Amino acid sequence: MDKIYVHEMQFYGYHGLFPEERKLGQRFSVDLILELELRKAGKSDNMEDSIDYGLVYQLTKEIVEGEAKNLVEAVAQSVADKLLMSLPLLQACTVKVYKPDPPIPGHYRSVAVEIYREKNK
């Protein structure tokens, strides 16, 4: 399967278990790997045979900057569900959601959740 990569989309959301996360919000970063057949797009040079990256960004933004969720896992699942439902050519996707500043002690760059989902056949 061919792949489109979208890296380091930046958003501000209100996801988390702690009240301060839901009140103050925090940064989130999302990476996507979109799996679909791109042979037709490569030959036709027509956007209708591929996926609009701007639409992918907008759909992801609606989830990450939308309704607050307790878990980053739920954010990732919602992004995958939205993309698979909204993009007819998309066959599968990998969604990785980074939380750079979670309220946990220690020194690290971020915590992240990565999921892989396929369209039901």
* pLDDT tens per residue across span 65-115: 999 999 999 999 999 999 999 999 999 999 999 999 888 888 888 899 999
99 tagged catalytic: yes
Residue 21 phi, psi dihedral angles, 5° rounding: -65, -40
Rounded to whole angstroms, the Cα distance separating 80 from 73 reads 11
Residue 121 has pLDDT above 70, yes or no: no
Please give the model's pTM, rounded to 2 decimal places: 0.94
> pLDDT tens digit string along 25-37?
999 999 999 999 9
20 Cβ neighbours under 8 A, 6+ residues apart: 103
Out of 3.40.50.2000, 3.40.50.300, 3.30.1130.10, 3.90.1150.10, select the CATH number for domain 2-118: 3.30.1130.10
**Where do the domains of the chain lie?**
2-118
Q: Exposed, middle or buried, 86 (CB in 10 Å: 0-12/13-18/19+)?
A: middle
Contact 24/109 with Cβ under 8 angstroms? no
Q: Considering the candidates 3, 40, 61, 99, report the single residue annotated as catalytic.
A: 99
